[in-house]
Amino acid sequence: MNTPSLSDTLADARGILFDMDGVLIDSEPIHEKAIIALTAELGDALDDEAILYSFKGAPEKSMAARLLEMYPGQKRTAEEIIRRKIELFAEIFHHVTLVDGAMEFLAKSHAAGRRHGLTTSASRATQGQAFDTFGFGKYFDTIVTGEDITRGKPDPEPYLLTAERLGLETRDCIVIEDSINGVLSGKAAGCRVVAITGTFPVEQLLRAGADFIIHGFDELS
């Protein structure tokens, strides 16, 4: 049996479920700066590249739990840590840019009649700031943020919920992700997953189960 090509898979898809950070907006470096600033307030500014790398694609709750372990002497709760991280990120959001080709692809895919869902681990406030800044709203039929789910990526819950809200079976949906956790989540939900490079190495994305690897949205034309 022949394996469907990316173009055939895209043509057959009824819905596309997009991650946000690293897929629609180039925001991962800004998230890292916000975490460094936050840890400076908690104690010592985090400069361990491996630990910072581990936060990429992780839900805010996971980030807060890790920081509570790393800074046991500080007095903030997990909720306060998350809130402060969101504030710090918002203060430097003006450095965030669009991922090349993302808006053009959204417009073409929307015009083709596909349904679009956003599935982000970010807070509703961060998602709203991104949508207000870049005008994504008109291209999306539903939005799922980290505040809408109980089990974040790599659990399948975020993508299962997004597909359900779109009224689609996950087998009829394509997920576009940039992170290991996101790929694992999309695959566990039963979606076909397109992984875009830039945040994680190709080998890791394939190992997580990505069906296709792209280096930019021009490859989805």
104 lies in the same domain as 201: yes
Tell me if 1 is assigned to some domain. Answer: no
Go through 119-157 and write b for each residue having 16 or more CB atoms within 10 A of its CB, e for each that does not: bbbbbeebbebbbeebebeebbbbbbbbebbeebbbbbb
pLDDT tens for the 221 residues of the chain, in order: 567 899 999 999 999 999 999 999 999 999 999 999 999 999 999 999 999 999 988 888 899 999 999 999 899 999 999 999 999 999 999 999 999 999 999 999 999 999 999 999 999 999 999 999 999 999 999 999 999 999 999 999 999 999 999 999 999 999 999 999 999 999 999 999 999 999 999 999 999 999 999 999 999 97
| Structure confidence at residue 167 (pLDDT) | 98
The distance in angstroms from the start CA to the end CA of the chain is 25
**Using CA atoms, how far apart are residues 76 and 159, in angstroms rounded to an integer?**
31
**Using CA atoms, how far apart are residues 124 and 148, in angstroms rounded to an integer?**
9
| Structure confidence at residue 3 (pLDDT) | 79
| Structure confidence at residue 34 (pLDDT) | 96
CA angle 78–83–85, rounded 5-degree value: 95
Distances (CA, A) of 34 to 73, 89, 91: 20, 5, 9
Provide the 3-class DSSP secondary structure of residue 170: helix
Residue 116's CATH number: 3.40.50.1000
Which residue segment(s) compose the domain that 154 sits in?
6-26+97-220
86 lies in the same domain as 105: no
Number of domains in the chain: 2
| Structure confidence at residue 203 (pLDDT) | 97
74 lies in the same domain as 119: no
Provide the 3-class DSSP secondary structure of residue 156: coil
103 lies in the same domain as 189: yes
| Structure confidence at residue 2 (pLDDT) | 67
11 lies in the same domain as 85: no
Name residue 92's beta-bridge partners. Answer: none
75 lies in the same domain as 20: no
Boundary (domain end) residue, out of 73, 94, 115: 94
Residue 38's CATH number: 1.10.150
12 lies in the same domain as 110: yes
55 lies in the same domain as 160: no
Residue 4: cis peptide before it, omega within 30 degrees of 0: no
